[in-house]
Structure 1
Amino acid sequence: MYKKSILSASILIALSQGAYAEDTSTFNEVVVSATRTNQTMDTVAASVAVVSEKDLEENMAKDLNDVFEYTPGVTVNGTQRQGVQSINIRGMEGKRVKILVDGASQPGVFDGGPYSFINSSAVTVDPDMLKSVEIVKGAASSLHGSDAIGGVVAFETKDPSDFLKDGKDFGGQAKLSYSSEDNSFSEHVALAKQFDNVEALVAYTRRDGSELQNFAKAPYDDYSVTDQDYYKNDLLVKLQSQLNDDHRLEFLGEVIYNQTDSDIASSSYKNFNAEDTTKQNRLGLKHIWFADLAISDTITSQLTWISKEENGVTNRFKEASAGHPPWVPANGDNQQKKDYEYTEDKIEFETQLDKEIQNHYLVYGLSYKHSDISNTNREFNSDPSTPDKVYVYTPDAKEQSFGLFLQDEIALLNDKLILTPGVRYDYFSTDPSDTSDESFKKFSDSAFTGRLGATYKVSQPGTVFAQVSQGFRAPSFDELYYTYDNPGHGYTNRPNPDLESEKSLSYELGYRHNTAASATEFALYYSDFTDFIDQTSTSNGGLTEYTFININEATVKGVELSNSLDWHAIASLPQGVTTRVAAAYTEGEDGNGNPLNSVNPWNAVAAVNYDSPNALWGTSLKVNYTAKKSDSDINSDGNNGGTKDQVALPSATVVDLTAYYKPMKDLTVRAGVMNLTNEEYYLWNDVRGETELSRDITQAERNYNISVKYEF
């Protein structure tokens, strides 16, 4: 077996110094999240997608929707008011997908209920801060714990040595961008400096923009955003030091502050506007010990603290008229202010040991997380007959989890066959505080999850891969304890602290064919979920009662295909002509045979690219096709996870054209025409839950992007 401990150590340093592959026509990208080891994609027994910094630049990504736009099987969910909230992988979303930034898990998604008075996103990092994104498709609980039952998305931010190349002790970049999609401007600057054995990085991104320029026209539907202004700030600081041959120390600090001001359409209120702010602070410390001990060759320990605060302020004014509270003030006009706040303070510690013993490569370790979660919702009214209120959607809660994991990578048959068994134990608990109106019982659960993966080289360019993996997800605090009564509007929410943890068993089989001129991957997958958590509604005394329950079963299955070709090597076309095609088809249903509405319709992406041999200019034409989601693929049972009279989704074909030019060595100018044919189209995640298609939730009209980046 090749000396993987030495290879992993060298790759680990290289990754921390920003070395990553940019060749999109092969499987040479180094991935970590799928196996917790440093492997090239062609040796991983799982479906993994990588979005490199080169991809982000070429796609002119300015938000998470752009980051995953050309990754079939991966989409984002969000609202007009608060933006992107979560990531969907093969129909699994929200807290079923684990989000990592620089190896640390992020605060969870929080859905504050109808009308979007308060929501919290799982991801706040800016695309200009990123150098790579890894997407592990399918259950990864045996390595990453509870939230990874649907997959993992791992974001890696830039490091000092990404800019300190060719022996330089100072470097950086400056970038200016504009997009007519939302009339946004962004400014990004990164400065790196080496001081003896310490490398430092300071990076900052600012974005200012407005509402999406889509096909919406007045009059607008209720709760649609009619006007919006936002600004986003992301400041990242890193200090990294190779103390000696055996020890490496890395520190990071990040401050994110975003604010969005929105005017919202309403037929009930004369004025309706919102102010939403996100504040997130992150501190991290990582120590890498190249120990060369009997129990470990390398020990990597990481401590991360994150504090996140979401504040949603809603102001709305209602004139006095005939009626009765709470909709119409009885005595006079009412200026109402809803001040909702969600906070999460998280601390996480993880240590991982790597050891190579003959043809075995062992990875084992432990992780611990503790989160303090609070949701405070206040309402203030100017009308004396409408009292001020404090709403308790969820009690304050403490979440804790502890995990132990072990994986063995076994090389057999002269490294042609690699088996990767793994097992993990997780303990999870949620301890809620009592409120003035109700007491809640503590939740706790534990589980063992296992995985067996295999890759086999059937020929020099061809590899078969397969895996069987178990998944586990403990219910989140809001699924357990969300409670809110609104009899005036005819509904109520009931907590369910007796929820069981979700479990899954997944199978995947695939084939990769990799040469200097082409790269092809084909994968089939099937997942069985038991005790799947879903929200249901029942009629109770004239009220619609919502609660989360465990449904008996759910299944998700599908197929994915990708291919990249270098046409100069294949057919003697001009050097620099390449193509890429990728497609994903997923279907899912619950135990009653109803379709899972979280599953997106199948989609495919095709791209034709040209890069001049001297790398001075290039262009790319991308076509993104999304199929129709018809009634037969939709759950319209409003009492069992669906939406009564759910509208179908029409198919759409979107064309994007981009180009770049380098007038000098370190200066790159990019421009793009997005939605070239001005297609009026929708995303399923926006249409889901709607009974009719509204232009208010269409995607952007034809729009233009331009950016200028200078590297030094």
Structure 2
Amino acid sequence: MTIRTLRRAWYRSAIAMSLAPLALAATMPDLRAQESGAQTANPMTIDPVAASPATGDPGTIMLDVVTISGGSTIGDYGVSDGNTLMIVDRETIDTYRPTTVQDLFRGESSVTVGGTIATNQKIYVHGIEETNLAVSIDGSRQNNKIFHHNATTIIDPQLLKSVQVEAGVAAADAGPGALAGAILYETIDVGDVLKDGRNFGGFVDAGYDTNGQTFSKRGSIYGKIGGFESLLYLNGVDGENYDDGDGNEVLGSGASLLSGLGKIAFEGEAGDRVELSYERVQDDADRPYRANIGAVLSGRPVPETRTYDLDRQNVVLSYENTLATGLWDPRVVLAYSVTDLRTDEEPLRAPGTSVTYDGSNDSLNGKAENTFNLDMGTVTVGFDAYDDEAEFDGDGYRTSERARNVGSYAQARLQPLDRLSLSFGGRVDHQVFTGTDDNDQDNTGLSGNVSAEYQLTDWFAVKGGYSNVFGGIVLTEPFIMNPGWSYGDIDTARAENVFAGFVVRYEGLILDAQIFDTDINDGRVATYGGGPALVEDFSSKGVDIGLGYDWGTGFGQVKFTSVDTEIGGDVADSYLGNYFTTPIGDIVTVSLVHRFEELGLLVGGDAEYAFEEDSTTINGRALEDYTVVNLFTEYRPAFNRDLSLRAEVKNLFDEDYSDRATYGQDFVDVRPLKQPGRSFGISTRFQF
């Protein structure tokens, strides 16, 4: 029996498992949750940190106390934004100190990151690539579909306040084009890092990793006076090529990252806040000729490496009222984001010469919305717009595609009954797409979503949701655009998403399980020679199970995800699935963190086990299983808790492997990139 057959049997069993507790709960006493507190602005969000004994005041369902302390990401997030898989907060980021998005999502089995370094890593949520999700940074839409061999959204996790991942079903106000969910990044504000009672602060941080001799230097200063505040953050990482688990040097793998964030803001006594931010990430170094592939063993000869100069920028101007609680609670965002990529190479056929190719994706976007704060929850109504462009310059020609969109939306997040939480909404989008031939195509589409969670007892809840999403025509990547394309009418993309599951919450224990299904119809798969109007259908279905326990000074969790991805009804492969999907299979992750408060000591680690995936043999070869373990410890001396000393070991057992979502593992004529072998790291941080 194959893994694929076993997985399908597992799905059927999981459905039965998700229904069985319903019958059990129906026979148990109805232990009504105590009521307390006034309604919050968003009663759908259960805050386990703030949970407290009942006060006797009517209004809010109270659960047993669950204290989250630094990194617990079991899915206790309600359904206010659809199927929220995870929220990584600032405390979690400070605990793990991630340096890439792969580190950021360590411990989350449902989110896989292919690639090896920041410049080639791509995020897959339930096996669906991030360009099919509405990705935003500080509310700014990201148009980062730059080159299929590169990262999609390269970002420095150290400058983040939080990241929220919504899989499949997403709220209408997450933005247009949320075919398979949303990823919402928020960068740090002064209030997130400035110590209480101070008007000025900062930190300096330095680190070294043995594998690749990588040095990192980062620092930040921030302050506030009156209603004004400002922040500046800079980070630089440089290193040599690393060795894989077999001791082989991986060409083009040396770190070369420069990132920064600047913010200024003013907040008046009435809560009116205006903020301007500028964030930038650069990576400029020699990389493998195809940056996400070790080598293609057949086909035309190419140089081993070439220069990749990647530069992403994000500018956001926003207004909101932080004290608004009534019917007038506005937010306005105006933003511009751009990603530029230049590749330089010396052709084998003409030594001593150089060829340069330039690609650019940008987005001018904004939104204006108001949240009506009601007794039973909130209703957000607004409109948004974007003007996206993809442009290529090189090889003797210059060409571009453009898409403009205006949308209006409404999203309700309500708690009509003590035990029932509802989230539902919709949006209408009108898009004008312009091809390389300057001809326009107009399309209008509707999208809708609904999610619900019902608390059968004070410890057991069921949840589920559905969405049907209009995706319009997605811009193709600049590096495959052909000025000679003849367009005609391109089918617009549309997706259906569904999930169903249950959550058990008991004191510090959380058990979360769900089944999910995402179907994307008429996803655009243009090729240089095949034309601009090619489309294909993609799907992802599977199971998530998470079990976690928080004991106040630490937490432990185990997560399992099984994903079956298909293209046109057949097993997905990483070539046809570019920008859409990749084979994932079955993954287990384990995380453990404990803090010894009196000693000022933090210890933790995580592990990932990927099962062998043999469904891909139809395309060439199976994906190998692997186990990778990472450990860390951090010490803050009693004489100065603002000083931290940290040591870590990544890939403890020196596993020789490619991360499950890394390109090309399913093809016999591709040598995929390997992850770094064992590496020891030390770092120190001083906060003032």
CA distance in 2: counterparts of 1:612 and 1:172, whole angstroms: 25
Structure 1 residues 516-542: Cα deviation after superposition (integer angstroms, max 9, x where no partner): 3212211111223332444689xxxxx
- Alpha-carbon separation, structure 2, partners of 1:26 and 1:484: 44
**1:223-263 deviations in whole A, cap 9, x for unaligned?**
xx635555222221111221231411111123433311247
For the pair 1:284 / 2:316, whether they are aligned, the reply is yes
In 2 relative to 1, CA 579–28 (structure 1 residues): closer, same or farther, beyond 3 Å?
A: closer
In the other structure, the counterpart of 1:65 is 102
2:276 alignment partner in structure 1? 251
Q: Which residue pairs with 2:411 in the alignment?
A: 407
User: 2:659 aligns to what?
Assistant: 683
The reply to whether residue 50 of structure 1 matches residue 82 of structure 2 is: no
Read off the aligned partner of 1:682 and give its amino acid letter: S
Figure out how many residues of one structure are paired with residues of the other and give that number: 617
Q: 1:375 to 1:259 in 2, by over 3 A?
A: same
User: Which one has more relative contact order, counting CA pairs under 8 Å at least 6 apart?
Assistant: 2
Matching residue's letter, 1:51: V
- TM-score, length-scaled by structure 2: 0.81
Instruction: Determine the structure 2 residue equivalent to 1:354.
Output: 371
Cα distance in 2, alignment partners of residues 67 and 26 from structure 1 = 12
Please tell me whether residue 369 in structure 1 is matched to residue 412 in structure 2.
no
CA distance in 2, matches of 1:56, 1:22: 12
Partner AA of 2:262 in structure 1: V
Question: SS at the partner of 1:111?
Answer: coil
Aligned partner of 2:562 in structure 1 is: 585
Kept after mapping to 2: 8 A contact 1:216/1:697: no
Unmatched 5+ stretches in structure 1: 15-19, 30-39, 319-332, 379-389, 434-438, 486-492, 538-543, 570-574, 637-645
Q: Residue 274 in 1 paired to residue 306 in 2?
A: yes
Among 196, 203, 225, which residue is 2:233 paired with? 203
- Secondary structure in 1 aligned to 2:178? helix
1:162 Cα deviation after fit: 1.9
Contact 1:290 1:299 in 2 (8 A): no
CA deviations 1:401-430 (Å, max 9, x no partner) are 1111111223223x2112222111112222
Matches within 5 A, 1:304-315: 304-315=335-346
Find the aligned partners of 2:489 and 2:374 in 1 and give their Cα distance: 45
Over 3 Å counting, the alpha-carbon distance change for 1:376 and 1:25 in structure 2 is closer
1:423 and 1:449 in contact (8 A); partners too? yes
CA contact (8 A) 1:480 1:495 kept: no
Output the CA distance in 2 between the equivalents of 1:412 and 1:690.
49
Tell me the secondary structure at the aligned position of residue 598 of structure 2: coil
Letter of the structure 2 residue corresponding to residue 282 of structure 1: N
**Residue in 2 that maps onto 1:444:** 442
- Do the aligned partners of 1:142 and 1:471 also contact (CA within 8 Å) in 2? no
Task: Give the CA deviation at 1:468.
Answer: 1.1
Partner amino acid for 2:427? R
Shift of 1:88: 0.9
Out of 459, 462, 470, the position equivalent to 2:460 is: 462
**Is the partner of 2:91 in helix, strand or coil?**
helix
Task: Select which of 342, 367, 373 maps to 2:359.
Answer: 342
CA distance in 2, matches of 1:468, 1:652: 34
User: What corresponds to 1:426 in structure 2?
Assistant: 429
The alpha carbon displacement at 1:696 in A equals 6.0
Q: Which residue number in structure 2 is paired with residue 653 of structure 1? A: 627
Give the 3-state SS of the residue equivalent to 1:167 in structure 2.
coil
Q: Which runs of 5+ in 2 are unaligned?
A: 1-36, 51-66, 290-294, 575-581
- In the TM superposition, what is the alpha-carbon distance from 1:545 to its structure 2 partner? 4.9
What SS is found at the alignment partner of 2:346? strand
Write out aligned runs for 1:177-256 (5 A): 177-215=207-245, 226-227=251-252, 229-256=254-281
What SS is found at the alignment partner of 1:685?
Answer: coil
Change (3 A) 1:283 1:554: closer
Q: State whether residues 106 and 122 of structure 1, in contact with CA within 8 Å, keep that contact through their aligned partners in structure 2.
A: no
Determine the structure 2 residue equivalent to 1:322: none
Match of 1:32 in 2: none
Pairing 1:32-111 to 2, within 5 Å after superposition: 41=78, 45-78=82-115, 83-111=119-147
Cα displacement (A) at 1:693: 7.8
Q: Give the Cα–Cα distance (whole angstroms) in 1 for the partners of residues 336 and 593 of structure 2.
A: 42
The answer as to whether partners of 2:628 and 2:653 remain within 8 angstroms in 1 is yes
Contact 1:22–1:52, Cα closer than 8 Å, also in 2: no
Distance 1:462 1:226, change over 3 A: same
SS at match of 2:229: strand
- SS where residue 463 of structure 1 aligns? strand
Cα distance change on mapping 1:592 and 1:466 into 2, 3 Å: closer
Letter in 2 for 1:704: F
- Matches of 2:667 and 2:296 in 1, distance apart? 18
Structure 1 position 357, deviation (Å): 3.5
Q: Counterpart of 2:426 in structure 1: which amino acid?
A: V
Partner Cα separation in structure 2 for residue 470 and residue 199 of structure 1 = 42
Aligned to 1:507: 498
The answer for the alignment partner of 1:260 in structure 2 is: 285
- Which structure 2 residues correspond to residues 14-29 of structure 1 after superposition, within 5 A? 22-25=69-72
Structure 1 distance, partners of 2:253, 2:82, is: 45
Q: Secondary structure of 2:163's partner?
A: strand
Counterpart residue identity of residue 513, structure 2: F
TM-score, normalisation: structure 1: 0.78
**Partner of residue 400, structure 2:** 396
Which shifted more, 280-289 or 347-356? 280-289
Counterpart for residue 135 of structure 1: 165
Match of 1:698 among 674, 680, 683: 674
Q: Work out whether residues 171 and 411 of structure 2, in 8 Å CA contact, stay in contact via their aligned partners in 1.
A: no
